[in-house]
Every structure is written in structure tokens, then in C-alpha cells.
Amino acid sequence: MSTDIVTDAVLREVALTRAEYDQVVELLGRPPSPVELGMFGAMWSEHCGYKNSRPLLKHFPTSGDRVLQGPGENAGAVDIGDGLAVVFKIESHNHPSAVEPYEGAATGVGGIVRDIFTMGARPIALLNSLRFGSLDRPRNRYLFDGIVGGIGGYGNCLGIPTVAGDIFFDDRYNGNPLVNAMCVGIVPHDKIMRATASGVGNLVVLVGADTGRDGIHGATFASVENPEESHRGVVQVGNPFLEKLLLEACLETLEVSGVVAMQDLGAAGLTSSAVEVASKGGLGIEIDVQKVARREVGMTAYEVMLSESQERMLIIVEPPSLDALVTIFDRWDLHSDVIGVVTDDGRVRILDGEDVVADVPATFYTDDCPVYIRDGVESAAIVALRNTDISSWDALEATDVLPALGRLLASPNICSRRPVVSTYDHTILSNTVVAPLEGDAAVVRIKGTRRGLALKTDCNPRYVYLDPRLGGMHAVAEAARNVSCAGATPIALTNCLNFGSPEKPEGYFQLEQSILGMAQAAEAFGTPVVSGNVSLYNESEGEAILPTPTIGVVGVLDDVTKHSGSTAPSGTELWLIGNLEATLGGSEYLAEIHGITAGRPPALDLNLERLVQAATRALVGEGIARATHDTSEGGLLVAVAEMLAPSGTGASIDISAVVTANDNSLARACFGEAASRVIVAIEPADRDLFVRRCAELGVPATALGTVTGRSLEVATVGSVAISDLAAQWTSGLGTSDAIV
């Protein structure tokens, strides 16, 4: 059935195609009302409906012995022992942050925190993963300063430490920065709350901020190309102090026996929260928008249902428990209203006083959302880049090694993140054991137990760009390797899939192949994907971002005191365990020194990767490793310098074995990149034990040298003062008065 009642302009506003609108009409047997159309647009958006990615996400392993809740709820929950679960998820706020960086990033933090305490978990840590264009451009500097400020401003005020993250710069992010926020919380197994309506006649309570016009069409705005063409009103304004009250009040309501479900109002606001709790429970829900508290006069039912005003929560409660619930909210100075009821007819019915403005089966919004399976085609231009002969860059004179090292240490993708992390308070709650800049992953203690968690986000988008499947595998491997370097066992992961338009064959190819690579690596490491987010249509001026499947990994330490940082103590010996062979393909060296992204990314042997990570964990747990650091962007010499620069201590090293393994190429030996290798600092007295344990654990170990003096001395290459390298390393991001 087709109709021309709705104009193309209206369909663009709700991000539905004409064919999708026709499908709505066919489902309903009539044209939708304006409110119904807006709700379909939100629920069938990529952000809420996953219509281009849903079939691909089925490739991920999502179950395991530790998994208590996989994908499908607000966040994943994984057993960590002692009757406790870690609850975590990562989400994007890319498009809002491109329009208004401070509030876009701030409300991204607020949204992901609500996903965690909605599950009944107390948030204990925040992470982020950021991507920007070159800071030489004033617009990118403005975005960088605003986004970092927004993350720090909201998290600090909320009282949750920001403990880890990653940042990457490339011109392909010039018009479209990426802002991915991750939150981690702790909850007893029996206190996990789910967003599933139950109990016909139970009351629907809306608590928190009054509803305004901010954020209307936010979900649809995030699911179309050229989001900057949309109006500024899509960006929400957050209030972290109100969210703190909401957090504490909602956690207190877990003690009220009649609270049966909880759902935050995030993307698509009241629409998505109402539809999701009804659909999951196989029941219906009836809401009267007249009962929704508003901060602006004249708001229509359409605006109320699609507003994405922040700091709001939907709670399903049994009628006898309502007074106890309201008492808690009143004590926390939070406004609450009964706005509806759970019904038995499976329909989402929206009233505006006496008028019925929407009446649709819940499954029409969810189960009947269109799904697109497309044919991906790899870009011929990218194939040509991957097949580029990069051997001409293997040649590097010994006299050029240390100048190149300094230049790499000063590059934005390698330099110290202190100007950023100093914006965030990582000491709140006094749980942080390994702080930002101190290790490859953050380590936080679980109070009341001996346990700890290691946390990290990561992704090398150049690898994914040049080879999506291999790059997806690398993203999982590196994040897990960072957690293993802390001494923790990776137990599960979350991901945020940031890509361009899936409607373009090249974009769909990148998305599909990356997912296949991530799934393969996650299966190999025994780290199921328990939550995540998809952010597509990240494009500006017709150019997509670098494909960026950000990975967040959580690892467990049974004894939090047995952890490792990355700064090598004076007097220790440096050894390289694992892979010796490196490549310049997709490396920071090629990009920074020669201005090219080309070649094949490093090979990844998942069996060797498992062995290296297991060996690293064993060496840390047995107290043999005094410091550990994986070699990633920039290669071996960069990793060595990063282990020395924070303390100002030098080292005397000999890399001849690595040079030989790389066909006598100094460039590959010094700056080539490779998976499955970690630098370990040990005490000289433990040398024999270390060598024996590496042999028993099945990983090769190569001596590099000793941490000593105040210079980095590289045999047959030269010497440079660590203070000079440290000065270059700390200068890469510059300074800005806008970072507060």
C-alpha cells in the first residue's frame, strides 16, 4: 500500500525512506498519526533499530561461563566472583559533539552512566575513546577542547573517576569527531535490574528532570548523513548534579520490593524507553503525556514523546509500593509522576488527555523494524594502498634513528596525554590503583574484596582502513593485550562500531569485515561481546571517517596487589617477549615521517597472541615482571622511550637481534609495528627464572638492555638524553586555555 500523504520533507525529518513509510502504512492498515510517525522514525533509526547492523552483530560470541547478561539490555553483566558482577557498556555521542562539543560530550557521559545504574550497578569508573582531525586546524582544536572539557566537567561533577581511554588523530575525522564513552559498575548478582515490563496494572513512573524541547530527533539525527545540516536543538544540555541525585535515588529504590523494571530515557527519549520495556515484557503500555512534567509551555505530544532531555528515568512499580518509591525520590529532591500503566494488549498507546495520539503494537516498532543485508564491495583505492610496495622506506641510516624517534614521540598519536587526563579526576572514590599514564590499562580495586579490574579502550583505525577484517582482530587483540599487561585476565568486551554510511558498498564492506574480524578474535580469547553500540553515517562533505570499531575490555585480577604499571624502574633489565618481526605497513612511522598510510598491517597470529598475553599475566602474577608495556604505535624504540620518559631514567640497549629478525632493516626494527609482543622489565637477579618461565610458557624472550643513567643509548645507533625525549613527548598536544 502506498500513499503520498506525507511529503518527502517530513520523511527526511523523521529519517524514513518512502519505502519504509509505505511499510508503516501496510503494518497499520492506515496512515500513521504524526506522533506515530515520529515514533516509527526514532525506533526504526539505525541508532535504535540497528537495521543495517543487526544481522552482522549475530556473528559476535555473546555467551560464556561468566556472562550473566549479554546484549539486549542497557548493559552487559559479567561474574567477577564473590557474588559480584561487573556491568559495563560503551556508546557514542559523535554527532551531537560535532555540533556542540562540550554538551555533546558531557551528555554522552551522562547517558552511559545511566545505562549502568539502570542495571542496579554502582558506577565506579569512566573511560573514553576520542578521534579528531589535526589540531593545526582551529575548528578541530575547538572540538578537542570542548569535548575534553565536557567529559571532565560531567564526570568530575558526578563523582565518578575517569581512569583510561585512547585518542587518535587523522584528517579523516576533520568534520566528524568521535566521542565514545564507557562506564563500568559493580552490582551483586541478585540486585541486577532489567528493563522488562511485567505485571498488568503496574504503574509507569517518570522521575528526574522536567521534559523540554532539547534533543528532539536526536536518534534520527545520528542516523543520517550530513548531521550538521540539522538544527542545533538536537544537542541536549546536561546537569551532572541532578544526575548524581538520580543515581543515588535509583540505587536506593532497589531495596523497594515492588520495583520491577527500570529504563533510562536516552536516544528517542520516552518513545524508546516505553517501547522497549513493553516489547521485552511481551506486554503493552499506556502513557498520558499530559502527566509528564514539562519545563517549556506549549509542548505537543509529539515533542514530549521524542524529547531527549537528560537525567530522566522510567520505572515500573507495583501500586502498593508507589508511596515508598515516591518517598525516596522526595528525599533526594527529585520530581516524579505516575504517567501511565502496564497493559495486557501488547500495544503502546499514547494519550494526550482524552485524545489517543498513538496506538501501535509494540512489536511493530521493534520486531518489524526493516533489516537491510547489503553487498559490500572493497574500495579499489584502498586495495591499491594495501598493495603498495613500501620496501623503499625500509632504508634508514643509523644517524636518522634518534631524530625520527623524537619526532614520533612528539606526534599527536603517541605523545603524552597529560594535558587531557589532567582534566579528569581519577582519584574520586579512592579506588584507582593504576592511574592514567601509569600503565597500559587502568586498574581499580573492588572495595570489600581482594579483587581488582583492569580497563582499557583501543582501536587502530589505520589498520582497519587498510584491512578491515585484520584491523578488527587487532582492535580486540590490542585492548586485551593492554589489560593483560596490567596482570589481569580479560573476561569480556564491549564495542562501539563507528563507521560511515552502510548504504555505500565500501562502507558496508568495512562494517561487515571488521565485525567478522572482531568476532574471530573475541572467540579466540574467550572474551564474549556483552554490550555495545553502533554509530553509522559518520561522514562529512561526502567523506567517511576512518572505520573505527572501538573495543572496551574488562579484565579481572583475583589479587589487585599483583598488578603492573609501564614505567621501568632503574636497574632493571628490559626484555622483549613474543614476536620480533615487524612491518611498516599502516604504521605511525610511515604516516608521521613519510606522510602516507599504506601497506599491509602487521600479521596477527591469534595462537601466539594468546600465549604472549598468558605469559605476561603469569610474569606479573608471579612477581617477576616489574613493569610491562606492549609495543603498538611507533614500534619498539617508542615503547622503550615511553617506559623511561615518566621517570627520567635512561637505558642502554642493543637491538641487533631485532634488526637481524627484520632483514637488517633499521626502520622496521626500530619503528615497525607488530602484534603479540610485550616489553618486560625484570630484576637482574630474576633473569634465570624469567628465561625459564618464558620457555615453559612457550614464548620467545630477547634481551634488550638495562635501565640506567639519564640517556637512551642504542648500540651502533647513538645516544640521546631522556630529558630531550621527554620534552618532545610532553609537547605533542600543545596547550589550550579552553581545556578546563
Beta bridge partners of 284: 343
Q: Please, which pLDDT band fits residue 218 given cuts at 50, 70 and 90?
A: low
- Active-site amino acid positions: 47, 93
Beta strands in 170-240 (DSSP E): 178-188, 203-208
CB 486 within 8 A of CB 620: yes
Q: Please, which pLDDT band fits residue 642 given cuts at 50, 70 and 90?
A: very high
Report pLDDT for 266: 82
Q: Which of 22, 75, 69, 62 is nearest to 44 (CA)?
A: 22
pLDDT at 247 over 50: yes
Question: What is the three-class DSSP state of 691?
Answer: helix
Domains in the chain: boundaries: 7-44+193-369, 74-192+430-563, 373-415+564-740
pLDDT at 3 over 50: no
Report pLDDT for 232: 40
Average pLDDT, stretch 711-717? 97
CATH superfamily of 74-192+430-563: PurM-like, N-terminal domain (3.30.1330.10)
Report pLDDT for 736: 46
Per-residue DSSP letter, 587: -
Phi/psi for 113 (5° steps) reads -65, -40
Q: Please, which pLDDT band fits residue 225 given cuts at 50, 70 and 90?
A: low
The average confidence (pLDDT) of the chain is 94
Report pLDDT for 219: 53
CB within 8 A of 508, min separation 6: which ones?
A: 52, 374, 375, 376, 502
Q: Please, which pLDDT band fits residue 501 given cuts at 50, 70 and 90?
A: very high
Fold designation for 373-415+564-740: Phosphoribosyl-aminoimidazole Synthetase; Chain A, domain 2 (3.90.650)
Write down the CATH number for the domain with range 7-44+193-369.
3.90.650.10
The model scores a pTM over 0.85 = yes
pLDDT at 2 over 50: no
The span from the CA of 726 to the CA of 728, in Å, is 5
Query: What does the longest C-alpha to C-alpha distance in the chain come to?
Result: 86
Residue that is written with C-alpha cell 573511560 in the block: 127
Q: How buried is residue 454: exposed, middle or buried, by Cβ count under 10 Å (0-12/13-18/19+)?
A: buried
Beta bridge partners of 702: 576
Phi/psi for 136 (5° steps) reads -70, -20
Report pLDDT for 230: 42
pLDDT at 740 over 60: no
CB within 8 A of 367, min separation 6: which ones?
A: 279
Per-residue pLDDT tens for 75-119?
999 999 999 999 999 999 999 999 999 999 999 999 999 999 999
Average pLDDT, stretch 141-161? 96
Sign of CA dihedral 374, 375, 378, 380: negative
Q: Which of 436, 419, 421 is nearest to 734 (CA)?
A: 419
CB within 8 A of 514, min separation 6: which ones?
A: 464, 468, 469, 471, 472, 475, 497, 499, 547, 549
Report pLDDT for 541: 78
Phi/psi for 732 (5° steps) reads -65, -35
